[in-house]
Amino acid sequence: MKNRVHNLLLLHLLVLASSFVVIDSIEAKQLRQDLIQRRSQLASRMSPGSLLILFSNPLRPYSGDVYYEYRQENNFYYLTGIEQPESIFVLMPSNETFREILFLPERDPGRELWTGPMLGPEEATRISGIDNVWNAGEFKAFIEAILQGLPYRTERYQPSNGYDAFFSALEKSEAEVFLLLKPHPGLEGKLTRELEFAEQIRERYPGINVRDVHNILAQMRLVKSGYEISQLRKAVDITVEALRKAISEVRPGIWEYEVEAIIEYVFKRNNSSDWGFPSIVASGPNATVLHYEASQRQTAPGELLLMDVGAEWKQYSADITRTIPVNGVFTPEQLSIYQLVLKAQQEAAKLVEPGASIPKVHQRAVEVLKQGLLELGLITDLNSNQYRVFFPHGIGHWLGMDVHDVGGRGSIFQPGMVLTVEPGIYVREDSLQRLKDSGTSDADLEKIRPTVERYLNIGVRIEDVYLVTEEGHEVLSKGVPSDPNKLTSLMAARSERLRSGGL
């Protein structure tokens, strides 16, 4: 009997293991198909006489011989799926034989002893779908030959197997080299490798036109594929779990860093690579600081705690914000502000549908917030910018591989786009001074002063993730409540468990 149970258990484990392999292989295949389609789409937007060069992110020193954990440059990953540093990707739309080339550093057993396995050509091809995987040491010889109109890896005086279109453009001074030139460091910042490379080309090959591929890739990345949406869902689901856990654990006296630790523990427990941005865990007056990151304050009864956090899953980031009362009960003043912010979000989100835009959503939120602020007594004029003192940021942003993902704010919503909607109100110590600086009269300041003092140090932001669909939108982050009663019920549930001797 014992052996039979053992054998059944072993069989069960083998079935589970095989199912994981199938799931992993399906996901790997989906990614590879996405990568191939993205590169094809990019090639179709480039001229025949052009080539693209993308460099991987460099390793970044932390201190001495210690480096930050490596994260690949988003566009490089978007086109290749490769996370190996010191890599280069080249795309030549008109080249028949060497249309896509991935340059990887040669495997080094000594290096692998310290930092783990490096990618070999076969594995890189399996991940990316790129057949031409060459040693990174060849890149210099390759690019110098191509920019001079000399075939590479072909017989010098034989047909060039697809280089002809680029070489023809070279002769006419119409050849284009696409590089990723944004974000630009300005006059004082350190030049990126791409900008240095662009300058070399301009100096030594003046007939070649250097172009920035950023805007093309930004437009491509705006609309997410089914595979990308599945990765974003996972990042959001992990973040929802983390926030629910944190909300249930918050109590007066807990330190901000303890709450941050609860959240990021859940990230790691779910195998998230990390956060998509430094966690914002802000209590009391810190909740009125938009990007507060220190997490060094102890909470007190009667205060609010704002948590703006997002797990990253396979290079895709979530971004959700919830604001809760530390002791589980909103004061009347806190609830008034909270309900106004929630109403602004709900009204603005109604406009998240194909054909709309972020500015349109923002304008609706502003209308609701201005009217509410006027009724509360925090502003005196609907036709002024007084409201900007209390709502100083935009309504939301695109979400994807960057937490503030690429794409113009004015882009028209299409199914597959993902964005956040995040109104907020922040009543700070300097609110009256900022109102004065914005042109508010002394008489109006005196009218507003008692209300500011009443709502002082209340900071509320509510942020959710929205997927634009054919019918309108889907709220990906709905798993963590924003309704104030449901929030406080979630907090009360833990207190009840503690009273009854549970965990």
Sequence-ordered list of residues with C-beta below 8 angstroms from that of 109, at least 6 positions apart, any chain: none
Residue 203 a catalytic site member: no
Residue 461 a catalytic site member: yes
CB 275 within 8 A of CB 261: no
Which of 100, 194, 308, 464 is an active site residue?
308
Q: How far apart are CA 244 and CA 242, in angstroms?
A: 6
Residue 308 a catalytic site member: yes
Which of 426, 428, 455, 466 is an active site residue?
426
Q: How many CA atoms lie within 13 A of 161 on its CB side?
A: 12
| Structural tokens at position 19 | 């199912």
Which of 65, 122, 203, 470 is an active site residue?
65
Which of 83, 100, 463, 464 is an active site residue?
463
Residue 422 a catalytic site member: yes
Which of 99, 214, 322, 461 is an active site residue?
461
Q: How far apart are CA 205 and CA 197, in angstroms?
A: 12
Residue 426 a catalytic site member: yes
CB 467 within 8 A of CB 229: yes
Residue 291 a catalytic site member: yes
Which of 83, 228, 260, 422 is an active site residue?
422
| Structural tokens at position 286 | 């810190």
Locate all alpha helices (DSSP H) within 377-483, ordered by sequence. Answer: 431-437, 442-454
Residue 381 a catalytic site member: no
Which of 45, 193, 244, 404 is an active site residue?
404
Q: Which residues pair with 467 in a beta bridge?
A: 418, 474
Which of 291, 453, 496, 497 is an active site residue?
291
Q: How far apart are CA 221 and CA 414, in angstroms?
A: 12
Residue 397 a catalytic site member: yes
Which of 71, 251, 388, 393 is an active site residue?
393
Strands (E), 38-82: 50-55, 61-63, 66-67
| Structural tokens at position 369 | 């917030």
Which of 258, 319, 405, 464 is an active site residue?
319
How far CA 270 is from CA of 13, 195, 264, 310, 372, in Å, comes to 21, 38, 10, 13, 40
Per the rule left: phi > 0, alpha: psi between -120 and 50, beta: everything else, 328 is left
Which of 297, 397, 473, 494 is an active site residue?
397
Q: How far apart are CA 307 and CA 323, in angstroms?
A: 6
Residue 393 a catalytic site member: yes
| Structural tokens at position 183 | 């974000």
CB 263 within 8 A of CB 290: no
CB atoms < 10 A from the CB of 344, how many? 27
Catalytic residues: 65, 291, 308, 319, 393, 397, 404, 422, 426, 461, 463
